[in-house]
Amino acid sequence: MNSNIPEIAPNTPPAEILRTGIAAAGGPVSLACSFSLEDVAIIDIAHQAGLNLGVFAIDTGRLNEETYEVADALTERYRLKIDWYFPKHEDVEQLEREKGLFSFRESLDNRHECCHIRKVEPLIRSLKNLKGWVTGMRREQSVTRSELKAIELDEPNGGILKINPLIDWSERQVMDYAKEHNLPTNRLYKQGYRSIGCAPCTRAIGPWDHVRDGRWWWENAENKECGLHRR
């Protein structure tokens, strides 16, 4: 278990948070990439800073076509190697045979079950040989993320480091960075999407809605996590 957690001052630049976290991890560190604006910005920041940061992604089987387009663009632009992980096919088959294709809309327990099969279990495998992982989470995204730290100990995942370099950034800062650096951007953002996950669980929202209102819109805000970020 890694107990060496550096103290990070507020508004520390993302590149410095990444550099500090990677050094403190003392081993391989990878970004959990969902191809959001945040994750694409982190890839660019790490590339510009010459940091040794791996990238992995989880293909849940329910992603939008537009998300795959961003993955392809990143691979070409940065000569990026993405380590893809998939749900165990037997678990997906059993879920859909027993409960159908949209059981996640019937109850919170059912939604957590689907997220566990399609996201959490593959994540556990993807983190197995890492000393740290990087996320694109920001404090302002939701009430479930307001207490996040730039670098923290991820006890549920074996005590590795969890690095959140954009912790203090606003949505506007992320958008401005993407525009300034001409980053590959999911086309769904131009259609009113502001947080993009699995296709059946994500929808467009209005400009005055909260950034996470389009995720699992049938649930209360305090429940809007998939289990990837256990605390």
Is residue 6 domain-resident? no
Average per-residue pLDDT in the chain?
92
Is residue 9 domain-resident? no
Question: What does the block give as tokens for 116?
Answer: 């566990």
pTM comes to 0.91
Residues involved in catalysis? 226
Q: Once rounded to an integer, what is the mean pLDDT over residues 146-151? A: 84
Q: Once rounded to an integer, what is the mean pLDDT over residues 6-13? A: 91
Helix or strand (DSSP H, E) at 92: helix 89-99
What is the domain extent for residue 197? Answer: 14-223
* Cα 155-229-222 angle, rounded to 5 deg: 125
* Band (117; pLDDT cuts 50, 70, 90): very high
| pLDDT tens-digit map of 21-41 | 999 999 999 999 999 999 999
CATH of residue 61's domain is 3.40.50.620
Fill in the DSSP letter of residue 145.
G
Is residue 229 domain-resident? no
What is the C-alpha separation between 31 and 23, in angstroms, rounded?
A: 15
What pLDDT shows up at residue 143? 59
Is residue 8 domain-resident? no
Under a CB-based contact definition with an 8 Å cutoff, are residues 157 and 124 in contact? yes
Question: What does the block give as tokens for 21?
Answer: 């976290």
Is residue 4 domain-resident? no
Residue 159's identity, in one-letter code, is G
Tally of domains within the chain: 1
Is residue 231 domain-resident? no
Residue 46 or 222, more confident: 46
What is the C-alpha separation between 198 and 109, in angstroms, rounded?
A: 17
What is the C-alpha separation between 230 and 57, in angstroms, rounded?
A: 18
Is residue 30 domain-resident? yes
What pLDDT shows up at residue 116? 96
What pLDDT shows up at residue 146? 62
Is residue 76 domain-resident? yes
What pLDDT shows up at residue 221? 76
